[in-house]
Amino acid sequence: MPRNPQLDRNGGLRHLITLEGLPAEVITRVLDTAEPFVSVAEREVKKVPLLRGKAVFNLFFENSTRTRTTFEIAAKRLSADVINLNIGVSSTAKGETLLDTIDNLCAMNADIFVVRHSQSGAPHLIASHLDATGRSHVHVVNAGDGRHSHPTQGLLDLYTIRHYKRDFGGLVVAVVGDILHSRVARSLIHGLTTMRAAEVRVIAPRALLPSAGEYFKQYGLTQDKLALAKSDAIVMHPGPMNRGVEIDSAVADGARSVILPQVTFGIAVRMAVLSLIASP
């Protein structure tokens, strides 16, 4: 079997492009590494020196607030130098190719690229280019590409589930929404399958574009629908929430919602990914 290009020869994480095909032990290593990082936020000085001297470039070719902010916080808490590029007014808007942009940023001594792109496969293209041009010391983290993958969101969802449920083995997980177009759902499903969840139920409309009222009636999570789940079921959402369409506010703000802790865990998980790919 060919070696997973996301891993180095010792099985360590080198790039993070997708959860598909990533071994369970690597996912577990990320989740375990994130565990102590959660408490960093509670310190007076919220920093550890693991990425001191490293340069992390956030390349967001697609709008994002939550993901970009949590990656920036994660890198800064690891003591990295963080460069956020405004792609809308950058060289790519003037006709420079994606790989030309990467080459120029490598010449500025980039260590890690965090890439969000509307085109599926863009982070993989960058990682392959770096490897082919002998720059294996530069790493790529996929922050969401097209409909394909959002691996750190999948990992933080897995972390949240493990935090509240301790184990994946006996769990029945329902993933609800427009699954066909959701890179978040795809990553979570790959992760849950790898971690051997007992059952993953995918719930989605046959017609992908129903009216908002009809969608909420059939698929929106309300207190009545939540009452059909087990009494200890938790409610998660990757954000941003579409209240009154995807989820009722009484559920989103209710006692079984862990949506805000997901955001907190997301910083720790992204710290774990960045520290693992940059470790020698």
The torsion region of residue 73 among left (phi > 0), alpha (psi -120 to 50) and beta comes to alpha
Contact indicator for 99, 127 with CB cutoff of 8 Å? no
Residues 28, 126: Cα–Cα separation, whole Å? 26
Which one of 28, 29, 66, 264 is the catalytic residue? 66
116 in catalytic set: yes
Which one of 14, 117, 150, 237 is the catalytic residue? 150
230 in catalytic set: no
Which one of 14, 15, 77, 116 is the catalytic residue? 116
Which one of 18, 33, 67, 152 is the catalytic residue? 67
Which one of 3, 9, 94, 166 is the catalytic residue? 94
66 in catalytic set: yes
Catalytic residues: 66-67, 94, 116, 150
